[in-house]
Amino acid sequence: MLPFARVAIIGLGLIGSSIARAVRAEMPTVALSGYDADPETRETARAIGLCDDIADTPGAAVLDADLVILCVPVGAMGDAARAIADDLPADAVVSDVGSCKESVAKALAEALPDATIVPAHPVAGTERSGPEAGFATLFHHRWCILTPSEGTDPVAIERVSTFWKRLGATVETMEAAHHDRVLAITSHLPHLIAYTIVGTASDLEEVTASEVIKYSAGGFRDFTRIAASDPTMWRDVFLSNREAVLDMLQRFSEDLSALQRAIRWDKGDELFDLFTRTRAVRRSIVEQGQDDAAENFGRARD
Amino acid sequence: MLPFARVAIIGLGLIGSSIARAVRAEMPTVALSGYDADPETRETARAIGLCDDIADTPGAAVLDADLVILCVPVGAMGDAARAIADDLPADAVVSDVGSCKESVAKALAEALPDATIVPAHPVAGTERSGPEAGFATLFHHRWCILTPSEGTDPVAIERVSTFWKRLGATVETMEAAHHDRVLAITSHLPHLIAYTIVGTASDLEEVTASEVIKYSAGGFRDFTRIAASDPTMWRDVFLSNREAVLDMLQRFSEDLSALQRAIRWDKGDELFDLFTRTRAVRRSIVEQGQDDAAENFGRARD
Ligand SMILES: NC(=O)c1ccc[n+]([C@@H]2O[C@H](COP(=O)([O-])OP(=O)(O)OC[C@H]3O[C@@H](n4cnc5c(N)ncnc54)[C@H](OP(=O)(O)O)[C@@H]3O)[C@@H](O)[C@H]2O)c1
Ligand SMILES: NC(=O)c1ccc[n+]([C@@H]2O[C@H](COP(=O)([O-])OP(=O)(O)OC[C@H]3O[C@@H](n4cnc5c(N)ncnc54)[C@H](OP(=O)(O)O)[C@@H]3O)[C@@H](O)[C@H]2O)c1
């Protein structure tokens, strides 16, 4: 049985358009409607036939939906929710895909006080954005975390869970606050660090930009991929998950200082011990199918 | 014309074995000899036919060579050079592949005061190590940096340069000290940061190891690849290139503090500006063929 029959997607970027493609692939009888604030994106979405209907207002997109998924930057969730408030059917379930959950849950509850809300975060993505960046298999073998607040209708939670499983994801439920701390270390801090080091390298005077680029295969290039991610999305993530990000950053800085001291005082054993410990983490990630075992990210050998 | 006819490789790990394979592929008439301190590695090298001859002592490996390449961890370069000093032919050129050049140049000059030395660093690698990790195309479209000291025989430099071009690399020459600063930012600091964040994540109590692994697709997994690199090699790199690494680390830490303040004081514009600037660097790296354009590192779409 289909968990939902009429799905509306608000925000047709990487994630929204991937959901649309995945729904088409896995649940082809579902009626799909979509809306994006950007007229150009709506045009593209129409041209590539992303949904059955691309509406010109958010209200028109949700009029008939039994599931509405907000796929906009986390800082825009409140606005996007307010924009559908008047037209949202009373029995529709509202969900989102935001990368932070506490702030989004608050924004959605304020904008839609009477709606059934089941927040979700598919832990999957690439560095691209926009409607043409999406693809149907993005969520395959990836986790999708639901963070419903206490008292949410269990049937609604179950339906959203089934929806994500149908798209290929494995579903986990946790509290929004815990989600935000877990993602602060596994996603937000890595992005913050990658942005920083790419900035640091760009600002050096004695090492030219051309040198940084030429010799990037020594490790730097991997950071640039992450640091090419969408600026709006990530600005919103850092501001919305401020406390958890700052806390993880504090721990990271302390550990970095310890390593700095180890280098300064020639403590090779300390370095060696840490570098040995970190190998095991990689092994587990590969074993659990969260990354490719291919060396060098499977980059072409020629 | 072949730049060298009899090449000896000391240290048959990732880089040494890749050179052996590349020589076989590109200059099949070259006589190849090899030696590694580890008897097991020598056994493996013999079993896979890596060289024409795998010697049981470093002296025997270089007896007849016109090029000797030291492919051992940078902290072992002095020892490896001393071990061949007595048997090195007077007209042989000595080179190495160490990731830092000032300390290695010093160690080699002390161990082999009369030899012709042309230090080199192929900026190419993977996170694997050992003789079976190597492959013949590792150096294709990558840079190889030569750092000969003043007064080195230009003919020797030219021959080493030709050697690397034959293996598919593009050759650049610079001063050892400048090399060490360029690589500190493009390779050494990225590795240091990756090791640190993987360590930080492993030490958290409220976020379990299992959660870190499950949700690593949000960005963290990319860091674990780099943090799976060889502990001995990297301990040596950080201790050998201490000053440059500590200096780059200092700049990085300052930039990270600035970002921390921007998050704390809600300065979204500052974040947005940096995140926009960093995208351009990625574009250049891809344009110049130093990385794949494939999104998400071209990870399998299913
Ligand atoms: N990218 C990832 O790796 C990833 C992974 C998991 C979750 N997420 C989350 O998914 C959400 C979307 O990210 P994305 O990567 O898909 O971003 P994206 O490709 O930039 O798409 C976002 C789209 O939403 C539109 N939009 C902005 N405000 C809107 C509003 N009020 N109403 C309707 N449309 C609006 C944007 O239009 P404009 O261009 O005009 O602003 C844009 O077309 C974010 O909350 C993000 O945190 C992202
Ligand atoms: N990996 C990279 O990405 C990369 C890139 C460019 C340059 N480099 C440089 O290349 C060099 C080798 O790195 P690698 O990645 O090939 O390391 P590797 O795979 O660990 O191989 C190094 C080999 O050298 C052997 N060895 C150690 N001391 C020796 C000695 N005194 N005499 C003879 N053999 C000795 C080691 O044996 P044991 O196992 O017994 O110690 C090991 O088999 C390092 O200087 C590194 O900085 C590495």
A178-298 has CATH 1.10.3660.10 classification: yes
What does A34-96 look like in DSSP terms, one character per residue?
EE-S-HHHHHHHHHTT-SSEE-SSHHHHHTT-SEEEE-S-GGGHHHHHHHHTTT--TT-EEEE
Q: Which residues of A touch B188 (CB under 8 A)?
A: 218-219
- How close is the Cα of A290 to the center of ligand 1, in Å? 24
Q: Measure A141 CA to ligand 2 centroid, in angstroms.
A: 36
Task: Enumerate residues lining ligand 2, CB below 6 A.
Answer: B 10-16, 36-38, 41, 71-74, 76, 79-80, 97-99, 121-122, 125, 129-130, 230, 233, 237
Q: Sheet holding A170-173: strands in order across?
A: A120-122, A143-146, A170-173
Q: Which ligand is nearest to the CA of A16?
A: 1
3-state secondary structure of A143: strand
Beta carbons of A32 and A93 less than 8 angstroms apart:
no
ipTM: 0.95
Chain B neighbors of A229, CB-CB under 8 A = 275
Rounded CA gap, A249 and A234, in Å?
16
Query: Selecting from 3.40.50.300, 1.20.120.1200, 2.20.130.10, 3.40.50.720, what CATH number does the domain A6-174 have?
Result: 3.40.50.720
Residues near A272 by beta carbon (within 8 Å), at least 6 away in sequence: B231, B232, B235
CA dist B161 and B173 (Å) reads: 9
Disruptive mutation site among B274, B276, B299 for chain A (greatest number of A CBs within 10 Å): B274
Structure token pair of residue A61: 């997109």
SS3 A182: helix
Q: What residue's CA is closest to ligand 1, atom 17? A: A13
Task: Identify the residue whose C-alpha is closest to ligand 1 atom 9.
Answer: A98
CA distance B54 to B33: 6
Beta bridge partners of B116: B93
Residue B172: partners with Cβ closer than 8 Å, 6 or more residues away: A214, B143, B144, B145, B146
Are A282 and B220 an interchain contact pair (Cβ–Cβ within 8 Å)?
Answer: no
Contact predicate A99/A121, CB 8 Å: yes
SS (H, E, C) chain B: CCCCCEEEEECCCHHHHHHHHHHHHHCCCCEEEEECCCHHHHHHHHHCCCCCEECCCHHHHHCCCCEEEECCCHHHHHHHHHHHCCCCCCCCEEEECCCCCHHHHHHHHHHCCCCEECCEEECCCCCCCCCCCCCCCCCCCCEEEECCCCCCCHHHHHHHHHHHHHCCCEEEECCHHHHHHHHHHHHHHHHHHHHHHHHHHHHCCCCCHHHHHHCHHHCHHHHHHHCCCCHHHHHHHHHHCHHHHHHHHHHHHHHHHHHHHHHHCCCHHHHHHHHHHHHHHHHHHHHCCCCCCCHHHHCCCC
Q: In chain B, which residues have their Cβ closer than 8 Å to the Cβ of A276?
A: 231
Residues B212/B204, Cβ–Cβ less than 8 Å:
yes
Question: What is the interface size between A and B, counted as CB pairs within 8 Å?
Answer: 345
Q: Is A290 on the interface with B (CB under 8 A)?
A: yes
Give me the residue label for tokens 């354009």: B293
Token pair belonging to B76: 């072992």
Nearest by Cα to B19 from B120, B147, B164: B164
Return the pLDDT at B302: 66
Mutate which of A140, A296, A301 to test chain B, going by most B C-beta atoms within 10 A?
Answer: A296
CB contact under 8 A, A279 and B215: no
Structure tokens at B239: 């201790």
Does residue A190's CB lie within 6 angstroms of at least one atom of ligand 1? no
Cβ atoms within 10 Å, residue A250: 12
Question: What are the Cα distances from residue B221, in Å, to A21, A53, A185, A291, A297?
Answer: 26, 37, 11, 7, 11
What pairs with residue A68 in β-bridges?
A: A8, A94
Domain with CATH 1.10.3660.10 in chain A: 178-298
A78 Cα: distance to centroid of ligand 1 (angstroms): 13
**Residue for token pair 């990756």:** B194
Specify whether the CB–CB gap between A292 and B299 falls below 8 A. Answer: yes
Q: Are strands B120-122 and B143-146 parallel, antiparallel or unpaired?
A: antiparallel
Characterise B296 by phi-psi region: left (phi > 0), alpha (psi -120 to 50), beta (else): left
What pLDDT is attached to residue A1?
86
Stretch(es) of chain A classified as CATH 3.40.50.720: 6-174
- Rounded to 10°, the helix B242-264/B189-203 angle is 60
Could you tell me if A212 and B185 are in contact, meaning their C-beta atoms sit under 8 angstroms apart?
A: yes
Q: What tokens does A113 get?
A: 């006080």
| CB atoms inside a 10 Å sphere around CB B276 | 13
Nearest beta carbon to residue B278 from set A195, A264, A299: A195
Nearest to B273 by CA among B256, B287, B259, B261: B259
**Burial category of A261 from C-beta neighbours within 10 Å (exposed 0-12, middle 13-18, buried 19 and up):** exposed
What chain A residue is nearest to B212 in terms of C-alpha separation? A186
Tokens of A98: 């935001």
Cβ–Cβ below 8 Å for B220 and A187: yes
Quote the CA–CA distance of A19 and A15 in Å, as a whole number.
6
Of A125, A202, A218, the CB nearest to B277: A202
Tokens of A24: 């088409």
Task: Output the tens digit of pLDDT for each of chain B's 302 residues.
Answer: 899 999 999 999 999 999 999 999 999 999 999 999 999 999 999 999 999 999 999 999 999 999 999 999 999 999 999 999 999 999 999 999 999 999 999 999 999 999 999 999 999 999 999 999 999 999 999 999 999 999 999 999 999 999 999 999 999 999 999 999 999 999 999 999 999 999 999 999 999 999 999 999 999 999 999 999 999 999 999 999 999 999 999 999 999 999 999 999 999 999 999 999 999 999 999 999 888 888 888 876 76
Residue A159 in 3-state DSSP? helix
DSSP A185: I
Residue A293 is predicted with a pLDDT of 84
**Residue B8: which of B56, B75, B53 has the closest Cα?**
B53
CB-CB under 8 Å, B300 with A239? no
The residue count for chain A: 302
Give one DSSP letter per residue of A194-251, joined into a string.
HHHHHHHHHH-SSS-HHHHHHTGGGTHHHHHHHTTS-HHHHHHHHHHTHHHHHHHHHH
∠ CA B12-B13-B17, rounded to 5°: 60
- Do B285 and A195 count as a contact with CB atoms less than 8 A apart? no
Q: How far is the CA of A72 from the centre of ligand 1 (A)?
A: 4
pLDDT for the residue numbered B264: 98
Q: What per-residue confidence (pLDDT) applies to B295?
A: 85
pLDDT in tens, chain A (302 residues): 899 999 999 999 999 999 999 999 999 999 999 999 999 999 999 999 999 999 999 999 999 999 999 999 999 999 999 999 999 999 999 999 999 999 999 999 999 999 999 999 999 999 999 999 999 999 999 999 999 999 999 999 999 999 999 999 999 999 999 999 999 999 999 999 999 999 999 999 999 999 999 999 999 999 999 999 999 999 999 999 999 999 999 999 999 999 999 999 999 999 999 999 999 899 999 999 888 888 888 876 76
Task: Please answer whether residues A282 and B222 qualify as being in contact, where contact means their C-beta atoms are separated by less than 8 angstroms.
Answer: no
Chain B, window 208-267: residues with a beta carbon less than 8 angstroms from a chain A beta carbon:
209, 211-229, 231-232, 234-235, 238-239, 242, 245-246, 248-249, 251-253, 255-256, 259-260, 263-264, 266
